[in-house]
Amino acid sequence: MSSCPRCSAAVEPGQEYCLACGERLPVAGIGARKVRGKGWHRRSAIALVVALAGAAVAVAASDPDPDSAAISTATGDFATVPTTSTLPSPSDEPRGNTADWPAGEDGWTIVLASVPQTDGRPTAVARARQARKKGLVQVGVLDSSLYASLHPGYWVVFSGVYTSEAEATSALEPARDVARTATVRRVVP
């Protein structure tokens, strides 16, 4: 082709666009681009199949086998030798059979639930009573605003008072039978 089909201006061999009007020229050879559009449906379908297969593998890998033994991993501060074997036991008498955190003591516990204070303390106490009925001991409720290590504004339903993270972690499995999201937390006044 020696002229532009739109404006009839002269063009050089291998030229992709007309310099006069900007029309793309139908030229094959060096410098000519392959027209896109063919096969994109197939490439998209293959990409979709690969993405779905990857998602299925990820779900299968993250779904634990109920017959396999659970692996618990403790993370946190460096291990320290406790000065006493256990912290003082919380009192069960006040506040309707819920345990209180020992005054002025820091330690570790298992947090079963965090109830916003706007929902009221009775909601948290009801959750604590449910946990006691399901077999957990030393279940109580504390005001997170009074403890530096906890996010303020919640009623924290806890189970147990422990001197070390390892001790609390060893009691985590039964707590997870009651509250699936139970976690080990440090409580510092």
Are residues 170 and 99 part of one domain? yes
Of 118, 104, 114, 168, nearest to 138 by C-alpha is 168
- Compute the average pLDDT of residues 123-143: 89
Domain count, the chain: 2
- More confident position, 40 or 188: 188
Enumerate the H helices of 98-155 as residue ranges.
121-133
Are residues 182 and 119 part of one domain? yes
- Write down the pTM of the prediction: 0.49
Are residues 182 and 109 part of one domain? yes
Banded model confidence at residue 20, pLDDT cuts 50, 70, 90 = very high
Tell me whether residue 69 is in a domain.
no
Tell me whether residue 41 is in a domain.
yes
Are residues 113 and 182 part of one domain? yes
Tell me whether residue 122 is in a domain.
yes
- The string of pLDDT tens digits covering residues 91-125 is 433 445 678 888 888 899 999 999 999 998 999 89
pLDDT, position 86? 52
Tell me whether residue 71 is in a domain.
no
Are residues 52 and 132 part of one domain? no
Tell me whether residue 82 is in a domain.
no
Tell me whether residue 11 is in a domain.
yes
Are residues 100 and 25 part of one domain? no
- The string of pLDDT tens digits covering residues 35-87 is 556 678 888 899 999 999 999 888 877 766 655 555 556 565 555 555 555 54
Are residues 177 and 116 part of one domain? yes
Tell me whether residue 107 is in a domain.
yes
Tell me whether residue 158 is in a domain.
yes
Rg (CA), the chain: 34
Task: Give the range of the structural domain holding residue 15, as residue numbers without chain letter.
Answer: 1-57
Are residues 176 and 116 part of one domain? yes
Listed in sequence order, the residues at least 6 apart from 174 whose beta carbon sits closer than 8 Å to its beta carbon are 135, 136
pLDDT, position 93? 36
